């Protein structure tokens, strides 16, 4: 029997692959560390100058894991097969074919990758596929953004002289071709449901959209990207021209509308508010629609669409078009609609059949609709307008003064600018008008009396206060309760400026006051003595005009200023933007939803005024009972924190009527408790547009983009420019929904 033997097999010794001096040139390596004469590590110059190669799996298939971006380093083992494995194919082949001398210059003449845009822009990023619904492509893009061919034929066939016009068929074919070209970008899915747009060059697409968003024309975008590509050596970025930019812009319309559909349909978004307006530009009537939504407790003002309106602008036609648009976007919009805002145009504001009233009828729950009220100032404004018009026609005076009188419009901001101009240039204007009047020619200037100049000085401070307030009222992030407070503050400031007081608040017995010591209108008065002191404070120029008036004229000036002060104060206090279903001032006002109001509200009041009226609508949009109960608890917790925690109280006490909704709630959430469900409810109620700023600003953009050099731009391209401006915002909202 043999003895068992235990054999211990030692591991084979690994061969030492030490550094060879020829490796530096042969494999383009750069020594990074060494111990005496022993090289410890080396860096690949190809990675440093040309970037890391893309790793592949067997068969040359690109691996799923993303490529490394750091430089390749080699340790103490320098094996030729390991060194050559990560080398980029084309560059390495080109380098290997060079002679020893040229290999050195090949590297030295290259620009390090860190100094090029390749190091920061991934031009080889994967493609993206945009999925868009049938209704958006077929109805909104295919039908609503183009004039129907049959309507175009009828329009062209009816000339002023009754004769047919030539070129009808050619123009119809052109319209049909443009429509087909736009729709060809969207590929119908194999299952017949929805469309897909494939974007292979993601970086190029993003660059084009970002450049379009800053108002560059399509040709300018193509030129800028080409110059950037050539300057930064981004050959892989690919070529681009204005046609490709136009296609990207058309695609972004469908993508953005799909994003808006997803946002509005999201269960967290329980409230939707519309703001719309219409305007004609270069012979085409446009209907602009904006929406405001609360997503995860954050308010967003979003552009929905600026679409051409080819029919007559009747309330019926506008209602039909808006209804068709919203149903194509999201059928459930009627259960989320809580507000409609528009301007005072009669077709929009008719109390029986206006567009606003018609849209309110679609809502399944209580709706708050608004319009922007106006305040009239009387004949004095008419004279101011005449003076402005006359001054703007005097080219010699404009050349001499080096400035032109501001244009007087029907806006308070414009009136304030005009009055400042008149006061600043009063001596020259007075002299010029006197010279023209003495000439006795046909074009006589308006008569500038001392009374008129006194009123300019007297009313300018009030107009300035109104202007400052109206600028605040036009803020895009304003909420309804802030609007009410701004009007209250403005009325109080004007009343304090002129010392307007209510008769019921007068000291002593009002009946004992002499009639000639005050100016009365309705239930308010202004003491004559306070008006006298007010006029004295205007300065020497106004005093010269004042001394030219006799006692009767001075009394008339006092009365005019006093009546203006009372009228403007009462008018501001009577402004009520919230309307009932008949477009009359609403008795039920929108609730207070800012933190500094809620902490002073009893929990029972919060439930009855904030939550209970909207509970059915919350439940209809997939809110469960626990969420609604958490919102009720959130109000009690917020009130408790305000009363018990000095830090929370200090934050909320700093809030006023100028603090934005998002900033106010962000600061409260910064204390560690977000009150998320309460904030979501309040965000829905805060979606009511208190003004038409969003729609009006859109028309300013529209007129800027479609100028005299771009009159042939497609309406779809114009809408794409609007959507490009909010492309990143929509994507950020979509990302927040996925989290």
Work out the percent of the chain whose per-residue pLDDT is above 90. Answer: 25
Is-above-0.85 flag for pTM? no
List beta partners, residue 272: 337
* Residue bearing the bigger pLDDT, 408 or 604: 604
Which residues touch 611 (CB under 8 Å, ≥6 apart)?
628, 631, 632, 681
C-alpha–C-alpha distance, residues 415 and 424, integer Å: 14
**Token digits of residue 580:** 């009932």
Residues 6+ apart with CB under 8 A from 289: 274, 275, 276, 304, 305, 306, 307, 322, 325, 695
Map out the domains of the chain as residue ranges: 23-115, 379-573, 595-685
Averaged pLDDT, 22-48: 77
Choice between 128 and 234, residue whose per-residue pLDDT is larger = 128
* pLDDT tens sequence across 500-519: 988 877 766 777 778 888 88
Round the average pLDDT of the chain to a whole number and report it. 80
CA dihedral 612, 617, 622, 625 (to 10 degrees): 10
Predicted confidence at residue 119, as pLDDT, reads 46
Other C-beta atoms within 10 Å of 383: how many?
17
- pLDDT tens figures, 63-73: 444 455 556 77
CA distance 734 to 739: 9
From the list 368, 283, 322, 266, the residue with the least C-alpha distance to 586 is 368
pLDDT-derived band at 372, boundaries 50, 70, 90: very low
Band of residue 376 on the pLDDT scale cut at 50, 70, 90: very low
**55 DSSP 8-state letter:** P
Residue 630 — very low, low, confident or very high, per pLDDT cuts 50/70/90? very high
Local confidence band at 299 (pLDDT 50, 70, 90 cut-offs): very high
Of 347-361, 646-660, 687-701, the range with the highest mean pLDDT is: 646-660
Token pair 């209250």 in the structure block, residue: 488
Q: How confident is the model at residue 222 (pLDDT cuts 50, 70, 90)?
A: very high
What pLDDT is stored for residue 13 in this prediction?
45
**Least confident residue range of 307-316, 351-360, 424-433:** 351-360
How large is the average pLDDT for residues 233-242?
81
More confident residue, 497 or 345: 497
Between these two residues, 165 and 296, which has the higher pLDDT value?
296
Question: In 3-state terms, what secondary structure has residue 289?
Answer: strand
Q: Which distant-in-sequence residues (6+ apart) come within 8 Å of 265 by Cβ?
A: 330, 332
Instruction: Report the alpha-carbon distance of residue 121 to residue 203 in Å, rounded.
Output: 8
DSSP-assigned states of every residue in 7-33: -PPPPPPPPP----TTHHHHTTEEEEE
Confidence of residue 208 (pLDDT cuts 50, 70, 90): very high
pLDDT digits (tens, 9 = 90+) for 94-151: 777 777 777 777 776 666 655 554 444 444 556 788 999 999 999 999 889 887 654 4
Q: Report pLDDT digits (tens) over 403-440.
A: 888 876 656 677 788 888 888 888 888 888 888 777 76
pLDDT number for residue 411: 64
pLDDT at site 325: 93
Residue 260 has a pLDDT of 95
Q: Which two tokens stand for residue 204?
A: 């190029």
Token digits for 541? 């120029």
The number of C-alpha atoms within 13 Å of 391 and in the hemisphere containing its C-beta is 29
Helix axes of 379-392 and 412-424: crossing angle, nearest 10 degrees: 60
> Phi/psi of residue 190, each to 5°?
-60, -35
What is the percent of the chain where pLDDT is above 70?
78
pLDDT at 350: 56
Q: Is the pLDDT of residue 597 over 80?
A: yes
Q: Are 391 and 408 in contact (CB under 8 A)?
A: no
Look at residue 22 and tell me whether its pLDDT is greater than 50.
Answer: yes
Strand ranges, E, within 434-533: 501-502, 518-521, 524-527
Lowest mean pLDDT of 21-35, 247-261, 552-566, 616-630, name the range: 21-35
User: Using an 8 Å Cβ cutoff, are 726 and 256 in contact?
Assistant: yes
């Amino acid at each position: 029997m043999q003895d068992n033997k235990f054999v211990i097999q030692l591991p084979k010794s690994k061969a030492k692959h030490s550094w060879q001096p020829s490796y530096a040139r042969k494999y383009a390596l750069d020594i990074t560390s060494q111990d005496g004469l022993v090289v410890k590590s080396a860096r690949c110059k190809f990675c440093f100058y040309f970037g890391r190669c893309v790793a592949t799996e067997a068969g040359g298939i690109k691996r799923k894991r993303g490529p490394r971006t750091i430089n390749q380093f080699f340790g103490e083992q320098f094996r030729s097969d390991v060194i050559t494995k990560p080398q980029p194919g084309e560059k390495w082949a080109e380098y290997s074919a060079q002679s020893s001398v040229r290999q050195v210059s090949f590297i030295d003449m290259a620009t390090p990758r860190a100094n090029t845009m390749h190091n920061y822009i991934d031009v080889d990023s994967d493609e993206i596929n945009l999925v868009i619904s049938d209704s958006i492509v077929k109805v909104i893009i295919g039908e609503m953004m183009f004039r129907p061919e049959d309507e175009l034929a009828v329009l062209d066939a009816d000339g002023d002289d009754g004769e047919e016009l030539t070129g009808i068929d050619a123009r119809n074919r052109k319209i049909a071709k443009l429509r087909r070209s736009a729709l060809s970008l969207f590929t119908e899915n194999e299952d017949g449901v929805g469309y897909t747009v494939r974007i292979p060059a993601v970086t190029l697409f993003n660059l084009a959209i970002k450049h379009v968003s800053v108002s560059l024309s399509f040709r300018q975008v193509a030129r800028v990207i080409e110059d950037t590509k050539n300057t930064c050596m981004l050959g892989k970025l690919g070529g681009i021209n204005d046609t490709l930019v136009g296609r990207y812009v058309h695609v972004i319309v469908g993508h953005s509308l799909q994003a808006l559909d997803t946002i509005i349909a999201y269960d967290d978004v329980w409230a939707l508010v519309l703001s719309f307006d219409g305007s004609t530009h270069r012979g085409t009537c446009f209907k602009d629609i904006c929406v405001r939504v609360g997503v995860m407790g954050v308010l967003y003002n979003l552009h929905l669409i600026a679409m051409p309106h080819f029919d007559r602008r009747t309330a019926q036609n506008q209602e039909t078009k808006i209804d068709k648009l919203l149903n194509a976007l999201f059928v459930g919009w009627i259960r989320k609609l809580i507000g409609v805002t528009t301007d005072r145009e009669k077709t929009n504001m008719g109390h029986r059949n206006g567009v606003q009233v018609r849209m309110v009828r679609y809502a399944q729950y209580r709706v708050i609709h608004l319009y922007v009220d106006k305040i009239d100032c009387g004949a004095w404004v008419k004279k101011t307008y005449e003076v402005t018009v006359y001054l703007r026609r005097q080219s010699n005076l404009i050349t001499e003064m080096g400035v032109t009188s501001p244009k007087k419009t029907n806006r308070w901001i414009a009136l304030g600018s005009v009055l400042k101009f008149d006061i600043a240039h009063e001596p020259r204007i007075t002299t010029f008008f006197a010279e023209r009047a003495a000439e006795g020619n046909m074009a006589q200037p308006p008569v500038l009396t001392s009374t008129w100049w006194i009123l300019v000085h007297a009313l300018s401070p009030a107009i300035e206060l109104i202007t400052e307030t109206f600028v605040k009222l036009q803020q895009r992030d304003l909420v309804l309760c802030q609007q009410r407070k701004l009007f209250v503050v403005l009325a109080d400031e004007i009343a304090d400026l002129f010392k307007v007081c209510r008769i019921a608040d007068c000291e002593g017995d009002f009946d004992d006051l002499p009639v000639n010591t005050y100016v009365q209108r309705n239930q308010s008065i202004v003491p004559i003595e306070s008006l006298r002191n007010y006029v004295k404070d205007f300065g020497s120029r106004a005093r010269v005009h004042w001394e030219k008036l006799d006692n009767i004229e001075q009394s008339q000036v006092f009365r005019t200023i006093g009546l203006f002060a009372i009228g403007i104060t009462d008018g501001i206090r009577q402004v009520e933007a919230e309307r009932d279903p008949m477009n009359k001032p609403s008795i039920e006002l929108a609730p207070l939803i800012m933190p500094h109001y809620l902490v002073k509200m009893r929990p029972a009041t919060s439930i009855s005024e904030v939550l209970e009226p909207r509970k059915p609508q919350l439940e209809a949009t997939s809110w469960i009972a626990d969420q609604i109960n958490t919102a009720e608890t959130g109000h009690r917790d917020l009130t408790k924190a305000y009363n018990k925690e000095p830090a929370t109280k200090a934050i909320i006490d700093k809030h006023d009527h100028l603090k934005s909704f998002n900033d106010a709630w962000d600061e409260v959430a910064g204390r560690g408790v977000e009150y998320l469900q309460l904030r979501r409810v309040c965000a829905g109620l805060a979606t009511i547009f208190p003004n038409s700023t969003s729609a009006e600003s859109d028309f300013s953009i529209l007129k800027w983009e479609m100028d005299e050099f771009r009159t042939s731009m497609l309406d779809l391209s114009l809408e794409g420019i609007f959507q490009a401006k909010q492309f990143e915002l929509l994507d950020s909202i979509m990302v927040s929904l996925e989290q």
